[in-house]
Amino acid sequence: MLPRAIDLGPESQIGSYRLIREIGRGGMGTVYEAQHSVLPRRAAIKIMHADLRKHPGMASRMVQEASILEDVRHPGIVRVFECNVLPDHRPWIAMELVPGESLASRLQRRKSMPADEVAALIANVADAMASVHIRGIVHRDLKPDNLLLPADEREFPVRVIDWGVARLGPHGRLTLEGLTPGTPIYMAPEQAMGKGGGPACDLYALGVIAYEALTGHPPFDGRTLAEVVAMHLASEPAPLAELCDAPSQLCALIHRLLAKQPSERLDSVSVQKLARAIALDLSSNAYDALEIERPSTHATAVPMRPWPETPEDEAVVVDPETLETGNTEMHAVVAKPRWTPPLGRTVVPKAEHDQIAGEIIVRR
């Protein structure tokens, strides 16, 4: 028999943290802002709902979320500080607190976003996902609600959050019996059919998010779950070129991410490179003449990627044909270290941009 659930609220003490206020509530738990009792650090404390204790799989999913993120070090992935269990058997996680708003909130206010911001969003999310895909981790529920846009301009422009339904490798799967994890509107066809999903399902979801950010609505929506799933399986999205004035390269990239077959989608590293080059080209059109200050990293919990410093960095070349043919090899190596213009702050160093033989060439 389960013990009586502990009443929690502001001023409650959980481990080394004192709860300050509730800042969010979801299907699995409630999130509080909290202050560490010794360290000068605030955190986001996620506590599982008391009525979910009767489902052992739910507690396992929360613990899994902490385990998955424990060793990941990327500025686009929210950090986990601690994971423990309350006396009433509810797990809780102390995570990095990042003031800001979700992409869902941003889209609710603005309906859609400019092409340069969407390209930067794709590049930054793909960069973050590449850091976990290489470890065999798949999020499986990417959506605007799970993309946090930090308010601090010195932060990496986006954080991927809520890894409660993530999968760790082919043998580390923790899923409730009969449950297909994910949100139908953003769910890849193979995921909707219950066939699981590798990294390609995260890239499909990113394509849906980008399509929605450009047009103000997702590519597929219906009155019932069955309608939405059927569209993901068999329908083609309306061409972006008919719905917005975004560049053809960006439209082609998004449509490539929405391919029905996982093998036809680009991998996260290729997506990051292509979207980054597109974002740089778009942002340069408005900011070519500006003297840009290097971004500061002094106040970030996880350092941002430094700005490329050497003038000898190689050119970034994107051939639009790579989006159609499946050849994702770049014509030149992307300059390292990589850094993508922050979402909503399309800042780039001075650059010369030329249009040559249908290719976008960005020279520093």
Asked whether the beta carbons of 184 and 200 are under 8 A apart, the reply is no
Helix (H, G, I), strand (E, B) or coil at 292: coil
Catalytic-role residue among 7, 51, 71, 141 = 141
Residue pair 208/218 in contact (Cβ under 8 Å)? The answer is yes
Rounded to an integer, what distance in angstroms lies between the CA atom of residue 324 and that of residue 320? 7
For the chain, helix, strand, coil in percent to 5 are: 35, 20, 50
Per the annotation, the verdict on 152 as an active-site residue is: no
Q: Residues 6 or more apart from 218 whose CB is under 8 A from it?
A: 185, 186, 208, 211, 212
**Rounded (5°) CA angle 346-278-156:** 45
Q: Which helix (H) or strand (E) holds 150?
A: strand 147-150
DSSP-derived letter for residue 172 is B
With contact defined as beta carbons under 8 Å apart, do 75 and 304 qualify? yes
Q: How far is CA 339 from CA 127, 157, 189, 273, in A?
A: 10, 11, 32, 10
Angle between helices 248-257 and 199-215 (to 10 degrees): 140
Quick one: residue 224, left, alpha or beta (phi over 0 = left, psi -120 to 50 = alpha)? beta
Catalytically active residues, by annotation: 141
